[in-house]
Amino acid sequence: MPLHEFVCTDCGLEFEELILKEGETVNCPGCSSSGVQKLISACKFRTGGPVVEGSPSANAVTSRGSGCGGCAGGSCSTC
């Protein structure tokens, strides 16, 4: 899914936006500014099997350091 993370250069709000077309413009949902920067997101996934305590998978940290293993944004349904 083409979900991208952005930060507003005017108000500092970090947000996610679904981008369906290349070159699509994004405005800040907080202040409506067009001055936004795309962030580089860390990607993390696990393929089956239990998580063993002390393993790299159990200690993995997402891009923002939250405990969420899904998006790390803190605003998705799994957080």
Closest to 18 in 3D by CA, of 7, 5, 30, 29: 5
Q: What is the pLDDT of residue 49?
A: 73
Beta bridge partners, 16, equal 5
What residue ranges define each of the domains in the chain, with the CATH number in brackets?
1-40 (2.20.28.10), 45-79 (no CATH)
Give the pTM: 0.52
44 pLDDT higher than 70: no
57 backbone dihedrals φ, ψ, rounded to 5°? -65, -40
Higher pLDDT, residue 54 or 34: 34
pLDDT of residue 41: 76
Residues 15, 28: Cα–Cα separation, whole Å? 8
